[in-house]
Structure 1
Amino acid sequence: MRATQMSPNLRWELLHPASSSIPSHRTRIPVPTTDRVKESYQRLSSPIAHPPIKLPIITSLSPHHNTFSSLINPEKRAMVFSVTRKSSGFVAPAEPTPTEILPLSIIDRIKGLRYMVQSIHVFKRGEKAAKTIKEAMSKALVPYYPFAGRFFNDPEDGELKLACRGEGPWFVEAVANCSLEDVRFLDLPMMISKEELLPVIPQDLEEPINLPFMMQVTEFTCGGFVMGLLSLHSFADGLGAAQFLHAVGEIARGLPKPIINPTWDRDLIPNPPKLRQPGPPPAFPDLKNEYTTIDFSAESILQVKEDFYHSTGKHCSTFDASVAMVWQARIRAIGFEPNELVHVCFFASTRHLLTDVLPKPSEYYGNCFYPVTVTTTAGRLTESNLADVVRIVRDAKSGLPKEFAKWAVGDFKEDPYELTFSYNSLFVSDWTRLGFREVDYGWGKPVNVIPFAYYDFMAMAIIGTVPVPKQGTRIMTQCVKKEHLEEFEQEMRRFK
């Protein structure tokens, strides 16, 4: 693992902040001091009790879900579900780990990635799940010790870096007063708010944006549990975050160490000559998009694939079909002018393109993707049949190796990583191949994984799967304004 070079004084100050040998006029970096950490641990020596938060059961929903209330057991409509956070604290590595400053790649440092990815993971069984997972995480943090670090902006060069001192991620233990069956295994629309299932850290302890990772394990009366995760995108992409969870699961199941030996190697990611420093942050408009989900059966997706094959003689993936459906439905619903340019963007993994650079790409858990942006006119997208839209998406995907190679050597006019957020642009994230569905802590794989839409400044669609035991594709969107929502849902239903 390669640590960055910096002045001896600054390195000593960062790694040994309590030392009196550093002049008092030195600029302090925003990483907790030793005294502050000691104080935090003293506060955390006894469990932090949180009062139960009463959450009324959902009995009336938006018009788009008006049939759901009939599915609720009448006896349970009077119940009040509550979640109580019992204890919380930092989980330190089980053994001593290196104390160092680690650099980030040019992709990690993109300002548009400085946000927390939110998700919940539902498991039907898990005896003493919080205790087991917490202990396994502590052991996994030995090889994955950067997950225990803290982000800071280096005052010498202004770059975002990671300070590794072994503080650990934030971990919350909680209990619910109901069974998972009572809340339909948190199928959408959720009967317990995500805010009660995701970890919260007191701001006087730590700035959440400085932590790579936070977790909450909520145990239910049935013996099942829900894991709520916050993962900073600047630290790891979806594949990388899932890799760490697999490591925790392997140790929880009794393995002495994770199967994959992780590597940092952020300095091996290409740093094009034109991109010595990331550009200014993009504009973040408030699009005020509405949230909705639509499920497609496996047969519906198969029909789209068969239609494409009959039209072109080629195969397409579920991802290709899903992107084409949501993109065309969105553009038709909004009603852009025919000559107006519209875009769809998705992040494609480039690990397979860096086998000559990364010793073992499968061990790398940093951001390793290229933004594939597809642009056409609204008129073309509206008038085309679905097979043609699938072909447009596939053509853009096929150009990934060439475009990424050009970017790596600085052969580009506009930086593809400098994203533009506007109502004309749709961003799509594929959660079906990241590995979260395969994580096992010893009691089986999750029956439901729910990623949440990102922020109001982007029109977003997330491709996932329907809860077990059903089969199919779930497309979760926050991509159209209220006045376009009904038309968008009608357009999406045409593909079912």
Structure 2
Amino acid sequence: MANSMPISINYHKPKLVVPARVTPHETKRLSEIDDQGTIRFQIPILMFYKYNSSMKGKDPAKFIKHGLSKTLVFYYPLAGRLIEGPNKKLMVNCNNEGIMFIEADANVELDKLGDSIKPPCPYLDLLLHNVSGSDGIIGCPLLLVQVTRFSCGGFAVGFRANHTLVDAYGIKMFLNALSELIQGAYAPSILPVWQRDLLSARSSPCITRTHHEFDEQIESKIAWKSIEDKLIQQSFFFGNKEMEVIKNQVPSNCGCTKFELLVSFLWKCRTIALDLHSEEIVHLTYLINIRGKSLEFEVPYGYYGNAFITPAAISKAGLVCSNPLTYAVELIKKLKDHMNEEYIKSLTDLIVIKGRPELSKSWNFIISDNRSVGFDKYDFGWGELIFGGVPKAVSLISFGVPVKNDNGDKGILIAISLPPLAMKKFQKVVYNLTLRNVEGANIISKM
């Protein structure tokens, strides 16, 4: 169990960081994937670095602030502001107003925070200070960066990005460029590409595929809303030992990936914990990155906009709960069938035709695999991180992040959001189905 301790932080006056050189003043349209209703929110990233004696006397805030200014030359739309065009279409006014930058000092040594730096981090609101007027969508800074120095010489870097401009891989590209430029590069090794028209609706939009991710039953929606504001979060660690136990619950030839297997297991446990009527429909929405996939069109290598689809598996709750794990695995494996150009075009057209609907919330488990994004790899001159990643589940979206446990074992950490009673049952179900068979099983719990 991870314990949090009270800390206080002294904040310096927030500043706007602008591109180091003159950049184009223009208006750029977002794609339909960028402009869907579900991702009109801010996505947080936290990264923690220990004290490095070779950098003694050097201020990480100064280095990072200077690096941001240079990076924004290449990613200048992030220094602009969102505006709405006809039919509330989101566009970026590239006016170089700048991103928000905050320096802060904490009264605690980083080591004292222990596992609480991992999801769901109880210090998120302190390490990403919400400057008044900075957390909206329209007319607000598109990126907020905070460098918090700890009394030991270690520090944390927090990034809060407007999700409509970038997805996880877009943030990865930006951070990679920032790291390279801080360490002396003249330009990023991967130059950013805009080309948002690739994922925009057709001139005559037409929905040609089934999109269960937007299905919403009125009764289920009302039931979910009655508990939505009572959600708490807990994190669960799955290393090789835990995954081996889960793997033994399906045939050796089931043909699923490690993450698909884990998601299937979590969906089943979550559905059992919610204690729904057997006829109630439950969703599993799996975010799939379309970069590098075999499609009729190719997403450019440097594309930093949102490039993912959100197909959903659906089932009656009773079937997910009562069937062997293979049942959920097979439903999730079929989501790969949606990885084709027509599905993507149908999705972009649906977003326009239906007025940017949000993903279904009622009994929907939404999961994103962030293991390969590399938020735990960035070196700003101080060496490797001790943790880097999305610091909590955001609304209903859970993120799989790579971590090491106290024994140094590598694994996947996932923060789950549920109402309190369902969370207690979820924890018992996970333990009974898996963790009781693993010596030293890890559950990191924070509420």
One-letter identity of the residue aligned with 1:175: D
Q: Deviations over 1:247-291 (max 9, x none)?
A: 101111221111101011112224133279xxx9x9894612221
Q: Residues 430-467 of structure 1: CA distance to partner in whole angstroms, max 9, x if unpaired?
A: 22122212222122232112524455xx5343222234
Paired residues of 2:40 and 2:137 also in contact (CA < 8 A): no
Match of 2:445 in 1: none
Question: Which residue of structure 2 lines up, in the alignment, with residue 317 of structure 1?
Answer: 257
Specify the code of the residue in structure 1 equivalent to 2:399. I
Query: Any idea what SS the aligned residue of 2:380 has?
Result: coil
2:426 is the alignment partner of 1:481:
no
Distance 2:170 2:198 in 1: 16
Determine whether 1:464 maps to 2:397: no
How far does residue 411 in structure 1 lie from its aligned partner after superposition? 9.6
Query: For residues 21-57 of structure 1, what are the alpha-carbon distances to aligned partners after superposition, in whole Å with 9 as ceiling and x for unaligned?
Result: xxxxxxxxxxxxxxxxxxxxxxxxxxxxxxxxxxxxx
> How big is each residue's C-alpha offset from its partner over 1:336-384, in whole Å with a ceiling of 9 and x where there is no partner?
22222211102111123486545x6220000111111001111211112
Determine if contact 1:423/1:459 at 8 Å carries over to the other structure: no
Matched residue, 1:329:
269
Rounded Cα–Cα distance in structure 2 between residues aligned with 1:189 and 1:174? 21
Gap regions ≥5 residues in structure 1:
1-64
User: How does 1:348-387 map onto structure 2 within 5 Å?
Assistant: 348-353=288-293, 357-358=297-298, 361-387=300-326
Look up the match of 1:293: 235
Query: Does 1:263 pair with 2:193?
Result: yes
Corresponding position of 1:392? 331
When residues 211 and 467 of structure 1 are mapped into structure 2, their CA distance, relative to the original with a 3 A threshold, is farther
Q: Which residue of 1 aligns with 2:109?
A: 179
Shift of 1:97: 0.4
Whose RCO is larger (CA < 8 A, sep 6+)? 2
Encode CA deviations 1:55-93: one digit per residue, 9 max, x unaligned.
xxxxxxxxxx4xx56xx9xxxx8xx63211123201111
Secondary structure in structure 1 of the residue aligned to 2:367: strand
| Distance verdict in 2 for CA 1:446–1:258, change over 3 Å | same
CA shift, 1:315, in A, is 4.0
2:32 aligns with 106
Superposition deviation, residue 223 in structure 1: 2.1
2:44 matched residue in structure 1: 118
How far the C-alpha of 1:94 sits from its partner, in A, is 0.7
**What residue identity is the alignment partner of 1:430?**
D
Q: Determine which of 168, 181, 199 is the counterpart of 1:251.
A: 181
Residues 111-133 of structure 1 show CA distances to partners (whole Å, capped at 9, x for unaligned) of 22111112311122464211111
Tell whether the 8 Å contact from 2:16 to 2:100 is kept in structure 1 after alignment. yes
Q: TM-score, normalised by structure 2?
A: 0.82
Q: Could you say if the C-alpha distance between residues 443 and 453 of structure 1 is closer, same or farther in structure 2, counting changes exceeding 3 Å?
A: closer
Shift of 1:417: 7.3
2:295–2:341 CA contact under 8 A, matched in 1: no
1:164 Cα deviation after fit = 0.7
Contact 2:369-2:401 within 8 A present in 1 as well: yes
Query: In structure 1, the residue corresponding to 2:13 is in which secondary structure?
Result: strand
- The CA deviation at 1:157 is 5.2
CA contact (8 A) 1:107 1:367 kept: yes
Q: CA deviation at 1:416?
A: 12
The residue that corresponds to 2:443 in the other structure is none
Contact conserved, 1:122 with 1:449, CA < 8 A, in 2? yes
User: Identity rate of aligned residues, in percent?
Assistant: 25
Sort the Cα spacing of 1:454 and 1:312 in 2 relative to 1 into closer, same or farther, 3 A.
closer
Query: Residues 415 and 352 (structure 1 numbering): CA distance in 2 closer, same or farther, change over 3 Å?
Result: farther
Pick the aligned partner of 1:216 from 146, 155, 169: 146
C-alpha contact (below 8 Å) 1:447/1:467 kept by paired residues: no
In the TM superposition, what are the counterparts of 1:273-288 in structure 2 within 5 Å? Answer: 273-274=204-205, 285=225, 287=228, 288=230
- Number of equivalences: 410
CA distance in 2: counterparts of 1:405 and 1:177, whole angstroms? 49
Conserved in 1, the CA contact under 8 Å of 2:199 and 2:348? Answer: no
Bigger Cα Rg: 1
Q: Is the 8 A contact 1:152 1:161 kept in 2?
A: yes
Q: 1:152 aligns with which of 59, 68, 83?
A: 83
Equivalent AA in structure 2 for residue 350 of structure 1: I
1:97 alignment partner in structure 2: 23
Q: 1:454 to 1:313 in 2, by over 3 A?
A: closer
Matched, 1:134 2:65: yes
Question: Which amino acid in 1 is paired with 2:235?
Answer: T
Tell me the distance in 2 between the aligned counterparts of 1:349 and 1:123.
29
Question: Which letter maps to 1:255?
Answer: A
1:198 aligns with 2:152: no
Distance 1:398 1:305 in 2: 23
Aligned mate of 1:342, from 268, 282, 290:
282
| Cα distance change of structure 1 residues 318 and 211 upon mapping to structure 2, 3 Å threshold | farther
Alpha-carbon distance change, 138 to 188 in structure 1, aligned in 2, over 3 angstroms: closer
Which residue of the other structure, out of 346, 354, 370, is the alignment partner of 1:407? 346
* Cα separation, 2, equivalents of 1:348 and 1:157: 28
Q: What letter corresponds to residue 238 of structure 1 in structure 2?
A: A
Q: 1:275 to 1:351 in 2, by over 3 A?
A: farther
Which of 163, 170, 174 does residue 93 from structure 2 map onto?
163
Amino acid at match of 1:123: Y
Alpha-carbon distance in 2 for matches of 1:289, 1:185:
21
Could you say what secondary structure the match of 1:437 adopts?
A: coil
CA distance in 1, matches of 2:88, 2:119: 43
Name the amino acid aligned to 1:446. Answer: L
Inter-partner Cα distance in structure 2 for 1:266 and 1:368: 10
Which residue type is aligned with residue 459 of structure 1? L
Q: Partner of 2:426: helix, strand, or coil?
A: helix
Task: For 1:99 and 1:179, locate their aligned partners in 2 and report how far apart those are by CA, in whole Å.
Answer: 44
Is the counterpart of residue 431 in structure 1 residue 362 in structure 2?
A: no
* 1:227 and 2:165 correspond: no
Task: Provide Cα deviations, 1:309-337, integer angstroms capped at 9, x if missing partner.
Answer: xx152443232122112100011112222
Structure 2 CA distance for aligned equivalents of residues 241 and 235 of structure 1:
9
**Secondary structure of the structure 1 residue equivalent to 2:330:** helix
- RMSD over aligned Cα atoms: 3.1
Q: 1:467 to 1:123 in 2, by over 3 A?
A: farther
387, 390, 401: which one pairs with 1:451?
A: 390
Alpha-carbon shift at residue 492 of structure 1 (Å): 1.4
Contact between 1:371 and 1:417, CA under 8 Å: does it hold in 2?
Answer: no
**Residues 473, 383 of structure 1: alpha-carbon distance in 2 compared, 3 angstrom cutoff:** same
Residue 52 of structure 1: aligned partner: none
Instruction: Spell out the pairing of 1:22-41 with structure 2 (5 A cutoff).
Output: none
